[in-house]
């Protein structure tokens, strides 16, 4: 008779004379089989999870614990693996990210895997004119500027002088400041200004990463400004998972949920919603 504790039963022995009847009966009915799997004809189903044998109830619990651990492992370690096996950064990009990570608002910076995908898209579509809506410390604008040809331009839109002063210093170090024009004003006003000055349909790529409640308005304005065959990208469209938490009714969450529904049904674009970083939606303008 095995005396090894059931791995999911808090160290209590599987079989013992002094057991309370209920627990005792449960474990008599679910007797471990020393690694052998008993067929249904013998009345008992015994599952193997890893190297341990569990009764069927415990095995289900063990499987879900294992699954949870695998999911955690996937999220954390596989993300790191992806970064280590794909991300290419210049020294200034690395410095910018390291400096930004010390910033109290560092979580506003997007993910290097996202930057690289967008940089690759910028090159694939031969972009020359890019909108960066929400600059912060300048990582997204820097990545776009590095991907553009010498005569390319990034129009970088933000309201914060404090954040963008950090960005300007690093753009200068990366020798791309001639490719970036900063507009310090509400993004909606700047985008409208471009439309009013006749630049509709002249942009190739837009990255929208400013205040979430403004996303839909920026989208509509960017749809006017970006040409057919161009791309509008949104960061944070999974919003740390809050989009699937119905109890979360924060204005930012509600805005992103509504936008995701709108993009799904919007026939003006083809769409990809990618589970990288905090969610990256790519709108390919038809």
Ligand X SMILES: C[S@@+](CC[C@H](N)C(=O)[O-])C[C@H]1O[C@@H](n2cnc3c(N)ncnc32)[C@H](O)[C@@H]1O
Chain residues in the site for ligand X (CB under 6 A)? 108-110, 134-137, 139-140, 157-160, 163, 186-187, 209-211, 214
Q: Which is nearer to ligand X, 8 or 108 (CB)?
A: 108
Q: 203: buried, middle or exposed (CB in 10 Å: 19+, 13-18, 0-12)?
A: buried
Assigned token pair, 1: 């008779």
Q: Which is nearer to ligand X, 139 or 259 (CB)?
A: 139
Residue 101 CB, nearest distance to ligand X (Å)?
A: 11
Selection from 17, 14, 27, 24 nearest residue 57 by Cα: 27
Q: Which is nearer to ligand X, 46 or 234 (CB)?
A: 234
Closest residue to bound ligand X by CB? 134
Q: Which is nearer to ligand X, 13 or 214 (CB)?
A: 214
Q: 């979360």: which residue's tokens? A: 248
Distance CA 259, CA 256 (A): 5
Q: Which is nearer to ligand X, 31 or 168 (CB)?
A: 168
Give the DSSP letter of residue 286: -
Residue 193 CB, nearest distance to ligand X (Å)?
A: 13
Give whole-number Cα distances, 27 to 22, 37, 55, 82, 178, in Å: 9, 16, 8, 44, 74
Q: Which is nearer to ligand X, 163 or 171 (CB)?
A: 163
Whether 225 contacts 191, CB under 8 Å: yes
Give whole-number Cα distances, 77 to 32, 67, 73, 81, in Å: 34, 15, 5, 6
The residues pairing with 235 across neighbouring beta strands, listed in sequence order, are 280
Selection from 145, 77, 68, 110 nearest residue 237 by Cα: 110
Residue 229 CB, nearest distance to ligand X (Å)?
A: 23
The residues pairing with 240 across neighbouring beta strands, listed in sequence order, are none
Whether 135 contacts 157, CB under 8 Å: yes
Q: Which is nearer to ligand X, 45 or 211 (CB)?
A: 211
């Amino acid at each position: 008779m095995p005396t090894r504790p059931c791995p999911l039963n808090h160290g209590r022995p599987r079989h013992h004379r002094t057991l309370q009847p209920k627990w005792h009966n449960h474990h008599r009915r679910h007797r471990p089989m020393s690694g052998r799997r008993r067929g249904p004809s013998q009345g008992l189903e015994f599952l193997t999870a890893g190297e341990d044998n569990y009764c069927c109830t415990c095995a289900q619990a063990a499987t879900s614990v294992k699954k949870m651990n695998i999911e955690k492992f996937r999220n954390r370690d596989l993300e790191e693996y992806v970064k280590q096996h794909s991300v290419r950064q210049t020294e200034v990009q690395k410095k910018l990210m390291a400096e930004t990570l010390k910033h109290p608002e560092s979580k506003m910076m997007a993910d290097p895997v996202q930057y690289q995908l967008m940089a690759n898209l910028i090159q694939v579509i031969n972009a020359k004119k890019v909108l960066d809506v929400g600059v912060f410390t300048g990582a997204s604008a820097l990545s776009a500027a590095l991907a553009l040809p010498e005569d390319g331009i990034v129009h970088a839109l933000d309201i914060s002088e404090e954040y963008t002063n950090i960005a300007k210093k690093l753009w200068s170090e990366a020798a791309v400041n001639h490719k970036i024009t900063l507009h310090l004003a509400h993004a909606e006003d700047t985008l409208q200004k471009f439309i009013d000055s006749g630049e509709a349909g002249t942009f190739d790529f837009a990255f929208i990463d400013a205040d979430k409640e403004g996303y839909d308005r920026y989208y509509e304005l960017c749809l006017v400004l970006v040409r057919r065959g161009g791309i509008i990208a949104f960061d944070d469209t999974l919003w740390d998972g809050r989009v699937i938490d119905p109890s979360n009714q924060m204005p930012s969450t509600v805005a992103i949920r509504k936008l995701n529904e709108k993009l799904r049904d919007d026939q003006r674009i083809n769409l990809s919603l990618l589970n990288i970083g905090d969610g990256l939606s790519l709108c390919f303008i038809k």
